[in-house]
C-alpha cells in the first residue's frame, strides 16, 4: 500500500528530477531578517552543512529537509546554488517526532544511555509518519537511477521506504551519531523496524569501525538477515529476493571538516586581530582554555567544570593567569533534560565564579550563544588549550576545527577518548571524562607541555586533517555507494 502511494508520485514524468539528493532533518539554511525587515535565507552553521554543502554545489543536486518554521508549507527554492525541497513539520511533529522520538528516545539510547531514553508509542507512530513524508518528498523529485544520501538518526526508516517506492535508486545512509551495542539497542521496542529501515540502504556509513560492527551485531541478532563480513544479506524467499530486499553494506567513514577553509580563515588579518582583541578583553591571561559545545548532556560540560574548579581550588591554576571560556550554544530548548542541564551548568559556573573571581578577572567566561564561523575561528586562535570532554560523541568537529585553525602549531587539544575524533586525533591528550583526576592531569599536562612537543603533535594532527577533509569523506562514501557488490563476496 505504502509503496503504491509513493510510486504514484514518482511516476509523474513531468520533469527528469535530480540525480543527487541529500535528505536530512533540516535544510542547510536559516531565515534571517535584514535591517529593512526583509526576510531572506542564509546558509546555517554546523557540522552537517559544512560537510555536505561543497559537494552539493559541485553537483546538480537537491537537498530535502525541514525549513525550520512549524506549520508552514513552502515551494522548492534555491539558495547559494543548492536546490532546496522543503518538507513541512507542524507543532505536533516537532513534539513527537523531533523532541520526542528523535531527541528523547534515540539520542540518549545511541549515546550510551547517559540519561534514560523514554519509549512512547505516540512518538514512534509520529516518527513513522514523518519518515514517510520525507521518503515521499524524495521519491517525487529523484531522477531515474539517482543517488540519494539520507542523513542521520531522525530518518532511519527512509532508506527502506524509498527502496520500496523506487527500486531504481542508489541509496546511502550516514549515521552522524554513535550506534549502540546490541545490549543497549535491545531496549528499543521497535528495534527490528529501525534495523530494517536502515538496511534499505545499499551502504550504511558510520563514524567509527566500532559503530559499524555494533550495527552488524544488531542486524545478526534482531533481523532475519545473515551477516557476512560487512554485508547484511536478506533471506532468499521462494521467488528469490524481491526488489525491495537488497544487500546492505556497513562501513566506517569518519566525517571531517573543510580543513583548507578553516586554515584560510585563520590567516585572515581581521580574524587574527579579533583573536588578539578577545585575549585582551579577557585581561591578557597567560593561558586561555576553551570549551565549545551545543548545550547537551553528551558533551561532559559538568565534568569539565568540575575538573577545572578543582584545579582552581587546589591552587594549580590561578584566576588572572588562566581563564576558561565556555561557549554553550542553545540546543533543543523544549526538551526537559536540556533545560535541566542548562540550570545545572549555570549553577556550577555561578558557584565557581563566585568562589574564584576577582574584581579584575573571571574564572569562567560563560557564553550561552551561537556564533558565526568567523568568530569561532577567532576564539580557536585566542585559545591555548581546547577542552573536548564528551561522555559520548559521534565525531566532534570542534576538536578538528581547533587543530586546523592553529596553523602555527601552537595550542594543545585535550580530547575525550569517547569521541569519534579520538580515533584520528591520536596526538592529542586523550582523557576519560569520568575520571576527574585523570582529566585534571591531562589539563595540567597540556598547560606545562614543552612547546616543541606540542608543536610536533599539532603538526601531525593538522597533516592528518589536510589529507582527510570533508571532501575526501564524501568522496569516499559516494565512491563506495557507486561501487557494485563483488559477486564473490556472496559465495
- Residue 331 binding ligand G6P, by CB under 6 A: yes
Between 337 and 457, whose beta carbon lies closer to ligand G6P? Answer: 337
Q: Which of 176, 253, 303, 356 is catalytic?
A: 176
**Which of 128, 140, 166, 332 is the binder for ligand G6P (CB under 6 A)?**
332
- Residue 159 vs 285, nearer CB to ligand G6P: 159
Considering the complex, state which of residue 99 and residue 469 has its C-beta at the smaller distance from ligand G6P.
99
Inter-residue contact 169 to 146 (CB < 8 Å): yes
* DSSP strand pairing (248-252 vs 364-367): unpaired
Q: How near is the Cβ of 331 to ligand G6P at its closest, in Å? A: 5
The residue with cell 542541564 is 341
For residues 126 to 165, the per-residue mask of contacts with ligand G6P, x marking binding by CB under 6 A and - elsewhere, is --------------------------x-------------
Q: Which residues contact 385 (CB under 8 A, 6 or more apart)?
A: 287, 288, 289, 290, 411, 412, 413, 414, 443, 446, 447
306 binding ligand G6P? (CB under 6 A): no
Instruction: For residue 283, give the nearest of 375, 382, 368 by alpha carbon.
Output: 382
Q: Is 177 in the site for ligand G6P (CB under 6 A)?
A: yes
Closest contact distance (angstroms) between CB of 236 and ligand G6P is 35
User: Shortest gap between Cβ of 176 and ligand G6P (angstroms)?
Assistant: 4
Binding mask 36-65 vs ligand G6P (x if CB under 6 A, - otherwise)?
-----------xx-----------------
26 or 253: CB nearest ligand G6P: 26
The distance of closest approach from Cβ of residue 81 to ligand G6P in the complex, given in angstroms and rounded to an integer, is 22
Q: Which residues contact 395 (CB under 8 A, 6 or more apart)?
A: 47, 176, 207, 254, 255, 419, 420, 421
Question: Shortest approach of ligand G6P to residue 138 CB, angstroms?
Answer: 17
Name which of 142 and 177 has its Cβ closer to ligand G6P.
177
- Interacting residues of 170 by C-beta distance below 8 A, sequence separation 6+: 145, 146, 147, 148, 202, 481, 482
Q: DSSP letters of 281-330?
A: HTT--SEEEEEEEES-GGG-HHHHHHHHHHHHHTTSS-BTTEEEEEEEE-
Comparing CA positions, the residue from 394, 297, 361, 335 lying closest to residue 47 is: 394
The answer to whether residue 93 is catalytic is no
Residue 435 in contact with residue 442, Cβ under 8 Å?
A: no
- Shortest approach of ligand G6P to residue 23 CB, angstroms? 12
* Cell numbers at 406, concatenated: 592553529
Contact in structure between 406 and 432 (CB atoms under 8 Å): no
Of the candidates 152, 296, 384, 393, the residue annotated as catalytic is: 393
- Interaction of residue 478 with ligand G6P, rule CB under 6 A: no
What is the smallest separation between the CB atom of 47 and ligand G6P, expressed in angstroms?
5
- Size of the residue set binding ligand G6P (CB under 6 A): 8
Tell me the per-residue interface mask from 235 to 274 with ligand G6P, x by CB under 6 A, - otherwise: ----------------------------------------
Binding flag, residue 329, ligand G6P (CB under 6 A): no
Beta-carbon contacts of 481 under 8 Å, excluding residues fewer than 6 positions away, are 147, 149, 170, 172, 202, 203
Q: Is 468 a catalytic residue?
A: no
Q: E-strand spans in 122-166? A: 142-151
Q: Which residue is nearest to ligand G6P (CB)?
A: 176
**CA 478 – CA 148 distance, rounded (Å):** 10
Q: State the cell numbers at 263.
A: 586554515
Alpha-carbon gap, residue 331 to 8, rounded angstroms: 38
Residue with smaller CB distance to ligand G6P, 179 or 222 = 179
Task: Give the whole-angstrom CA distance, residue 341 versus residue 363.
Answer: 20
Among 176, 249, 306, 440, binds ligand G6P (CB under 6 A): 176
**Least Cβ distance, residue 106 to ligand G6P (angstroms):** 10
Footprint of ligand G6P (CB under 6 A) = 26, 47-48, 152, 176-177, 331-332
Positions annotated as catalytic residues are: 176, 393
Amino acid at each position: 500500500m505504502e509503496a503504491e502511494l509513493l510510486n504514484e508520485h514518482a511516476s509523474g514524468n513531468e520533469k527528469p528530477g535530480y540525480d543527487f539528493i541529500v535528505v536530512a532533518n533540516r535544510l542547510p539554511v536559516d531565515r534571517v531578517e535584514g535591517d529593512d525587515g526583509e526576510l531572506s535565507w542564509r546558509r546555517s552553521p554546523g557540522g552537517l552543512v559544512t560537510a555536505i554543502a561543497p559537494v552539493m554545489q559541485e553537483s546538480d543536486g537537491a537537498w530535502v529537509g525541514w525549513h525550520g518554521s512549524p506549520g508552514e508549507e513552502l515551494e522548492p527554492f534555491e539558495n547559494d546554488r543548492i536546490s532546496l525541497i522543503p518538507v513541512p513539520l507542524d507543532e505536533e511533529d516537532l513534539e513527537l517526532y523531533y523532541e520526542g522520538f528523535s531527541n528523547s528516545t534515540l539520542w540518549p539510547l545511541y549515546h550510551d544511555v547517559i540519561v534514560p531514553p523514554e519509549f512512547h508509542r505516540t512518538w514512534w507512530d509520529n516518527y513513522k509518519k514523518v519518515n514517510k513524508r520525507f521518503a515521499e518528498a524524495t521519491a517525487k523529485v529523484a531522477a531515474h537511477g539517482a543517488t540519494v544520501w539520507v542523513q542521520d538518526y531522525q530518518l532511519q526508516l527512509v532508506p527502506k521506504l524509498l527502496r520500496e517506492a523506487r527500486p531504481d535508486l542508489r541509496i546511502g545512509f550516514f549515521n552522524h551519531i554513535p550506534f549502540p551495542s546490541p545490549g543497549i539497542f535491545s531496549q528499543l521496542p521497535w528495534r527490528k523496524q529501525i534495523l530494517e529501515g536502515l538496511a534499505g540502504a545499499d551502504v550504511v556509513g558510520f563514524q567509527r569501525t566500532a559503530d559499524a560492527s555494533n550495527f552488524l551485531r544488531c542486524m545478526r541478532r534482531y533481523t532475519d538477515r545473515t551477516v557476512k563480513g560487512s554485508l547484511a544479506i536478506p533471506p532468499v524467499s521462494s521467488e528469490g529476493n524481491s526488489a525491495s530486499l537488497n544487500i546492505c553494506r556497513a562501513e566506517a567513514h569518519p566525517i571531517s571538516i573543510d580543513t583548507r577553509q578553516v586554515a584560510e580563515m585563520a590567516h585572515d588579518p581581521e580574524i587574527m586581530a579579533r583573536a588578539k582583541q578577545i585575549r585582551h578583553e579577557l585581561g591578557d591571561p597567560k593561558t586561555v582554555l576553551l570549551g565549545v559545545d551545543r548545550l547537551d548532556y553528551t558533551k561532559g560540560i559538568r565534568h569539565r567544570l568540575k575538573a577545572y574548579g578543582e584545579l582552581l581550588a587546589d591552587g594549580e591554576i590561578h584566576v588572572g593567569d588562566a581563564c576558561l571560556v565556555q561557549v554553550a550554544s542553545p540546543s533543543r530548548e523544549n526538551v526537559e533534560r536540556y533545560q535541566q542541564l542548562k540550570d545545572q551548568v549555570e549553577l556550577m559556573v555561578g558557584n565557581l565564579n563566585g568562589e574564584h573571581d576577582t574584581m579584575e578577572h573571571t574564572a569562567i567566561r560563560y557564553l550561552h550563544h551561537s556564533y558565526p564561523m568567523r568568530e569561532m575561528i577567532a576564539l580557536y586562535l585566542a585559545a591555548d588549550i581546547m577542552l573536548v570532554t564528551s561522555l559520548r560523541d559521534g565525531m566532534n568537529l570542534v576538536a578538528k576545527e581547533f587543530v586546523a585553525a592553529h596553523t602555527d602549531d601552537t595550542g594543545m587539544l585535550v580530547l575525550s577518548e569517547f569521541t569519534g575524533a579520538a580515533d584520528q586525533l591520536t596526538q592529542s591528550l586523550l582523557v576519560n571524562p569520568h575520571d576527574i583526576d585523570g582529566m585534571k592531569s591531562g589539563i595540567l599536562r597540556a598547560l606545562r607541555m614543552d612547546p616543541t612537543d606540542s608543536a610536533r603533535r599539532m603538526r601531525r594532527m593538522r597533516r592528518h586533517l589536510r589529507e582527510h577533509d570533508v571532501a575526501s569523506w564524501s568522496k569516499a562514501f559516494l565512491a563506495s555507494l557507486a561501487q557494485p557488490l563483488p559477486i564473490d563476496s556472496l559465495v
